[in-house]
A and B are shown apart, each in its own frame.
Chain A
């Protein structure tokens, strides 16, 4: 099991949902409005007067086989328009109830 954390401009919400639908990923936790800033460039998303845009983040726990698929389509989506910005991070699940 892996945890995949995806964070992106909230304008991409529908498309990320579309990915999840296509990949038949049922379980997720979504944080609708999050602040953030990329390490390597990209506009900060602070919801402030200077940086008014906001991010959405989504966290999902999937089987190991699913990770490459997710990363593939996240990257594809990022390539459609780099300015929106979308990143995915993966780590291991140690335990669960």
Chain B
């Protein structure tokens, strides 16, 4: 018994099987985590090595090069870049996406071990770090306070961080940009001089006093006591009262020679949140945790914590990536809903009966729900990619059911009992249903084979569509016949009409007229097939010429309501000046952006020690960073996109003369995924830097070129002391001794810690700031020499102003630097890359310098190449399936004639809507291969059938076209309307997928119209002599009836 016969005979079993599938699917849906993108580990491994005291060039020669040589042989390495800073070498290895990073990091560790013997002895062991998406914060809050500002760090640490760390799935919660408490001992060098004291002696005295010493046990009678010397400071006031011994048995109180302050650390990095004083609270999640769930729970925790904190502490949300995810997912869910509704409406209009519509609509949830089971089994998540795939699938999963139901309905209308009609109706069409599904799979299956980052995005898409479509076919040949046998009723249009208005009768009549009109059109076309084919070909060629006007882009950028600004000013500028300019820019931005602005955080200066905040963005006393958050797109007063706002901010920055270089980047991560990087490769610093400056200057003239940035930093200004070894020797001093003394005076003597309530704070003993803020001060520093005499620093050598070499970037073992350019809103990445190439071609390359245009542009090119390959593969597979189905080499070609016109449609749609050709739009074009050939298959299949039945060629074509018009229109409309919500959606996250909707709809509309004309014409042209020639040939080989002559031998009754 066939699957459909069993299904019809055992309706309850069938129902239960599908019910079971639905139940498991719903269960999976509930279990699935929600995220923005599929899980992906960025394939980067970083090797960091510190070598104290070496400058960038030394680091490059002695560490970076050696490591690079060893690391170069690691498997699957895609690209190796390195930066050599002063004291630090960072080698970054980029691997192919999707490789096993555990293996890769083991390989890296081995390579590092091998190179250890060649590395200098006094380096710290290289650290191997793996990038992870979990490093990106999911929640960022600005915390501001007035009176409590001083204790803010402590309060947050106690009340908030502790709670947040307890939330399931939170990887870390921490505060950045808040000053810590510190105890300063600011010394007056003149008083030190007068008392004959040195910083070191005072520093050591503070360290020696601030101690608890255990002195063993004392036995007294039957008891035993431990003896302790208690010296640790309980409060910072005690430091003031330390007595310092002087020569001759006298003492002086520390407070007499120094200013002791228990306060907050002097600012070097300052945050202004909404112009108030404050810091940033960041929360990161574990890489496999559910972003939305973690964020929700963390927010609840924070609410709880708020009630325990002083009222003046305020939390402002700067960034909530879960918010964007939730909104994007919700939008997609509604897109899915609209798609479902429009598909059902189309089916109802065409079929005109609610029972039929219901039977077809039932296949949608079943086919889609199976995708959830797949996702749960493969450890996937409910993300924008998977939901979008479902949305794409919706229009396709009804096709098979429509074909089956149509045939069953035909039998029912002929008077069969629904049960028999269901069995025989399905039997007649089930093979062709499977073939059309195979064609779809031929297009979508290759998607699952794409390597690299594109694969991470498109693999789920490919699998989900393959699975949904396969399920829909199984449903169509089992569940649909079963439902038909139970629900379809025997009524015909004429009877219904008698009982009053019948939608069925009305739609049947309307479509009947359309069928007749189309049949006439086809007869007209068949009379002029050469002209028709020629003009269509011309149309296609014309559209290819239009292709020049479509600009290209990598990925459409999302409006995530957030942007960040980076601006660099004169090297060596004081933090205070930077602050002034930052506040000026702050108010200018507020003025321009107005009500659309939600929060604006400004930070400037640099933190002394490398902190997390400085890892995320470049800091420096001349650098300011801003993070702006705008209100949601739909609430903005002019409906401006974040990109337009960004362009306005760029205009502001252009007007501020102090700002030398700026970038405005969008989104939460702060990484720009949309830049053209002009790489300038060459060994000599000066030549390459100058060339880069020239290129940057020329690029500034290109319209739409924004955020022009040169990756090599300016030389750092330094005060360098060159000691005279002759003089040092005479004074019994060494360079390291002098260095240490100067360090203690300026950086401070920081051995001792002040402890309070389990926390430790630095006690910094150093000169008061007023005595160390000019070159003269430094020159006049007093240094005690080996014979106990005081000498001034200037007597030991020269102090010069100089520049230290910049950091050295290398790529594939060669020095290089990049000039990166971001296209402004409305300018395409591809055009910008062309402009960059143009600029480069006009320049004469200096000796030993080569250039390369890369960046996101390169990724775009790679992706387009991959898509072209994919397209070729899809075309080939579709051809194979069809050639097998039709047992013909030519028929598939006729059907595939529709494909070029789908591309014409894509080009026209992109031009009309002003969209760019991004990877997503191109993917839409690839998908069209599968979708548009379906129409042709339906048509050709039927024409072949009619020919087989002996109809004359033109007649066969005209009749088939008339008969197949409705199924073709119905499947096309369901696909088009399934995509429509995607194409017109303008809410959060919709930008990514809109081009796909547009290109599929454009291609579909155009190719459907063309298919219906050119395929019959081409069929007629290629079958002039008819398809039955082969049969005739075969019959000629029969000779046993050679003596038969119909005219002569047949009796009269048989001759007519």
Residues 1010 to 1056 of chain B near chain A (Cβ within 8 Å): 1034-1035, 1038, 1040-1041, 1044, 1046, 1049-1051, 1053-1055
Asked if A22 and B1054 make an inter-chain contact with CB atoms under 8 angstroms apart, the answer reads no
Q: With an 8 A cutoff between CB atoms, is A19 at the interface?
A: yes
Contact-size category for A: 10 to 19
Residues 1 to 53 of chain A near chain B (Cβ within 8 Å): 14-15, 18-19, 22-25
Residues 472 to 505 of chain B near chain A (Cβ within 8 Å): none
Asked if B1046 and A22 make an inter-chain contact with CB atoms under 8 angstroms apart, the answer reads yes
Q: With an 8 A cutoff between CB atoms, is A89 at the interface?
A: no
Asked if B1041 and A66 make an inter-chain contact with CB atoms under 8 angstroms apart, the answer reads no
Bound state CA distance, A19 and B1046, in angstroms? 11
Asked if A15 and B1038 make an inter-chain contact with CB atoms under 8 angstroms apart, the answer reads yes
Cβ-defined partner of A76 (8 Å) among B1035, B1041, B1046, B1053: B1041
Asked if A66 and B1054 make an inter-chain contact with CB atoms under 8 angstroms apart, the answer reads yes
**Secondary structure call for the A interface:** helix
Bound state CA distance, A24 and B1034, in angstroms? 19
Bound state CA distance, A20 and B965, in angstroms? 37
* Known pairs A15-B1040, A77-B1040; A24 contacts B1046 (CB<8 A): yes
Bound state CA distance, A77 and B1034, in angstroms? 16
Asked if B1038 and A18 make an inter-chain contact with CB atoms under 8 angstroms apart, the answer reads yes
Min CB distance, B702 to chain A, in Å? 74
Asked if B1040 and A63 make an inter-chain contact with CB atoms under 8 angstroms apart, the answer reads no
Chain A residues with CB under 8 Å of B1055's CB are: 24
Q: With an 8 A cutoff between CB atoms, is A80 at the interface?
A: yes
Chain A residues with CB under 8 Å of B1054's CB are: 23-25, 63, 65-66
Q: Which of B1040, B1046, B1049, B1051 is most buried by chain A, counting CB atoms within 10 A of its CB?
A: B1040
Chain A residues with CB under 8 Å of B1040's CB are: 15, 73, 76-77, 79-80
Min CB distance, A73 to chain B, in Å? 6
Residues 48 to 92 of chain A near chain B (Cβ within 8 Å): 63, 65-66, 69, 73, 76-77, 79-80
Min CB distance, A40 to chain B, in Å? 22
Bound state CA distance, A86 and B1054, in angstroms? 24
Asked if A66 and B1051 make an inter-chain contact with CB atoms under 8 angstroms apart, the answer reads yes
* Known pairs A23-B1050, A23-B1054, A63-B1053; A73 contacts B1044 (CB<8 A): yes
* Known pairs A15-B1038, A73-B1044, A77-B1040; A24 contacts B1050 (CB<8 A): yes
Asked if B1051 and A22 make an inter-chain contact with CB atoms under 8 angstroms apart, the answer reads no
Chain B residues with CB under 8 Å of A76's CB are: 1040-1041
Chain B residues with CB under 8 Å of A14's CB are: 1034
Min CB distance, B754 to chain A, in Å? 101
Bound state CA distance, A80 and B1037, in angstroms? 13
Asked if B1046 and A65 make an inter-chain contact with CB atoms under 8 angstroms apart, the answer reads no
Asked if B1041 and A22 make an inter-chain contact with CB atoms under 8 angstroms apart, the answer reads yes
Asked if A22 and B1044 make an inter-chain contact with CB atoms under 8 angstroms apart, the answer reads yes
Min CB distance, A75 to chain B, in Å? 10
Chain A residues with CB under 8 Å of B1044's CB are: 22, 73
Bound state CA distance, A65 and B1040, in angstroms? 21
Asked if A73 and B1041 make an inter-chain contact with CB atoms under 8 angstroms apart, the answer reads yes
Bound state CA distance, A80 and B1038, in angstroms? 10
Asked if B1049 and A69 make an inter-chain contact with CB atoms under 8 angstroms apart, the answer reads yes
Bound state CA distance, A14 and B1034, in angstroms? 10
Bound state CA distance, A76 and B1038, in angstroms? 11
Min CB distance, B1052 to chain A, in Å? 8
Chain A residues with CB under 8 Å of B1034's CB are: 14
Chain A residues with CB under 8 Å of B1051's CB are: 63, 65-66, 69
Min CB distance, B337 to chain A, in Å? 52
Chain B residues with CB under 8 Å of A22's CB are: 1041, 1044, 1046
Bound state CA distance, A73 and B1054, in angstroms? 16
Asked if A65 and B1053 make an inter-chain contact with CB atoms under 8 angstroms apart, the answer reads yes
Cβ-defined partner of A18 (8 Å) among B1041, B1049, B1053: B1041
Bound state CA distance, A69 and B1034, in angstroms? 23
Chain A residues with CB under 8 Å of B1035's CB are: 18
Q: Which of B1050, B1054, B1055 is most buried by chain A, counting CB atoms within 10 A of its CB?
A: B1054
Min CB distance, A2 to chain B, in Å? 13
Residue of A nearest to B1051 (CB): A65
Min CB distance, B970 to chain A, in Å? 37
Chain B residues with CB under 8 Å of A77's CB are: 1040
Chain A residues with CB under 8 Å of B1038's CB are: 15, 18
Min CB distance, A6 to chain B, in Å? 14
Chain B residues with CB under 8 Å of A18's CB are: 1035, 1038, 1041
Bound state CA distance, A55 and B1049, in angstroms? 29
Min CB distance, A36 to chain B, in Å? 22
Chain B residues with CB under 8 Å of A80's CB are: 1040
Asked if A19 and B1041 make an inter-chain contact with CB atoms under 8 angstroms apart, the answer reads yes
Bound state CA distance, A32 and B287, in angstroms? 66
Bound state CA distance, A69 and B1035, in angstroms? 19
Min CB distance, B1037 to chain A, in Å? 10
Chain B residues with CB under 8 Å of A23's CB are: 1050, 1054
Bound state CA distance, A14 and B1030, in angstroms? 14
Chain A residues with CB under 8 Å of B1046's CB are: 22, 24
Q: Mark B761-775, 1 if CB is under 8 A from A, else 0.
A: 000000000000000
Bound state CA distance, A32 and B1040, in angstroms? 23
Chain B residues with CB under 8 Å of A63's CB are: 1051, 1053-1054
Bound state CA distance, A69 and B1051, in angstroms? 10
Min CB distance, B1053 to chain A, in Å? 5
Residue of B nearest to A78 (CB): B1040
Min CB distance, B568 to chain A, in Å? 87
Chain B residues with CB under 8 Å of A65's CB are: 1051, 1053-1054
Q: Which of A22, A65, A69, A77 is most buried by chain B, counting CB atoms within 10 A of its CB?
A: A22
Residue of B nearest to A17 (CB): B1035
Bound state CA distance, A77 and B1042, in angstroms? 11
Min CB distance, B992 to chain A, in Å? 58
Min CB distance, B682 to chain A, in Å? 79
Residue of B nearest to A25 (CB): B1054
CB<8 Å pairs between A and B, sample of 26 = A15-B1038, A15-B1040, A18-B1038, A18-B1041, A19-B1041, A22-B1044, A22-B1046, A23-B1050, A23-B1054, A24-B1046, A24-B1050, A24-B1054, A25-B1054, A63-B1053, A63-B1054, A65-B1051, A65-B1053, A65-B1054, A66-B1054, A69-B1049, A73-B1040, A73-B1044, A76-B1040, A76-B1041, A77-B1040, A80-B1040
The 3 A-B residue pairs whose C-beta atoms are closest, nearest first, are: A65-B1051, A76-B1040, A63-B1053
Identify the A interface with B (CB < 8 A).
14-15, 18-19, 22-25, 63, 65-66, 69, 73, 76-77, 79-80
